[in-house]
Each structure stands twice: as C-alpha cells, then as structure tokens.
C-alpha cells in the first residue's frame, strides 16, 4: 500500500467552486480499482505550535492506493479525471504530490 498527500493550491477566492467540482468527482475516484481512500481535507486551526500557517486557498487530498501501479492508472487520463481537470484548470495555481510508503 502507498499513501499520497496531494496539495492543490488554488487561485484566490476559488476554493468553494473547486470543492464543488472535486466533491462531484470523489465517488468516481473511490470506485477506481486499487483506490483504498481518497479524502479531501482543509486546514484546521488547531493552536498547535508546530502547525504550518493556515492556507485558505489550498485543498489537501489524503489518498491510499493498493500500489504505485494503481496510482499511475489514476493519473493516466481516465475519463472522469479528464472532466475534473478541464472543469478546474482555471481555478488551480499549482499541484504537488508526496508519494509515501510504510517505514
């Protein structure tokens, strides 16, 4: 199993519109072969000293996949992902991935 932390930095003021498109796509991703978890998350003000500053224009997706192959297939241009990317491309400033394996 691998985990992915996907950070999507949005253009200012676009988070609510982006979340609407993302939430519509979540069931399609969760139905993909090899997807164990795909959960969009937002920063939470915790008051913890080590926490990074809150990011009002960012969405983090916490993912779990059976394998790197399953993740690659997810990123390869499946029809639902192509629709999602087309619908959100003007909202997104930058995307970064952390791909992790158990220690």
Do residues 92 and 17 lie in contact, with contact meaning Cβ atoms separated by under 8 Å? no
Split at pLDDT 50, 70, 90, the class of 12 is: very high
Mean pLDDT value of segment 41-58: 97
In the chain, where the domains are located: 2-43+54-100
In CATH, what number does 2-43+54-100 get?
3.30.70.100
Q: Can you give the pLDDT at residue 51?
A: 96
For residue 42, the 8-state DSSP code is: -
Q: Can you give the pLDDT at residue 76?
A: 94
d(CA 14, CA 30): 24
Do residues 88 and 15 lie in contact, with contact meaning Cβ atoms separated by under 8 Å? no
Q: Work out whether strand 35-41 and strand 2-10 pair parallel, antiparallel, or are unpaired.
A: unpaired
pTM value? 0.94
């Amino acid at each position: 199993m691998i985990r992915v932390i996907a950070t999507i930095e949005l253009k200012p003021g676009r988070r609510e519109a982006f979340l609407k498109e993302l939430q519509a796509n979540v069931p399609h991703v969760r139905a993909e072969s090899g997807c164990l978890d795909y959960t969009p998350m937002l920063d939470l003000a915790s008051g913890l000293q080590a926490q990074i500053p809150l990011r009002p224009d960012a969405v983090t997706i916490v993912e779990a996949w059976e394998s790197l192959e399953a993740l690659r297939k997810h990123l390869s241009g499946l029809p639902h992902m192509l629709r999602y990317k087309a619908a959100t491309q003007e909202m997104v400033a930058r995307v970064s991935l952390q791909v992790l394996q158990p220690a």
